[in-house]
Amino acid sequence: MWQFIQKYINAVQQSDNNTKKSWVAGCTIVTMIFVISLWSLYFQDSVQTLNLPETPTPITQEASILSTFTIGGKIVAKKIGSAISNGIAEIKSLTKETRSVTLQTANINFVLEELPVISPKSLPH
């Protein structure tokens, strides 16, 4: 199976540029659909649980490792989501601030009288 996939990838690599571009476009579309689907599922879940009061999950003695990871994953996802929303709110508040820049000229007095005179020199051609 792995050799078949490897031969197919090599065949695509040896093909013309139009075939390569179509493969890149197809893989990009499939990847974007996958990412957007995951994002929409996460968004839908976070919107549904947004207004619900947080209740602790009862712990049973027969908890499996899968249920433990599922509960932990939900808690971590909820904390990451709240951190992201807090970060976005912070960025929005920063973009609403107005800033001003004050330029001040430097008070530098050069004394040119003490410098030696440099005579111009012509460069060789």
Within a domain: 31: yes
Q: Strand runs (DSSP E) across the chain, as ranges?
A: none
- Domain range for residue 31? 22-50
Within a domain: 41: yes
* pLDDT value of residue 97: 80
List the structure tokens of 32: 């974007």
Within a domain: 67: no
* Residues 78, 49 contacting (CB under 8 angstroms): yes
pTM of the model: 0.36
Within a domain: 35: yes
What total number of domains does the chain contain?
1
* Parts of the chain with a pLDDT under 50: none
Within a domain: 9: no
Within a domain: 95: no
Within a domain: 43: yes
CA dihedral (17, 22, 25, 26) positive or negative? negative
How would you write 56-74 as a 3-class SS string?
Answer: CCCCCCCCCHHHHHHHHHH
* Residues 86, 93 contacting (CB under 8 angstroms): no
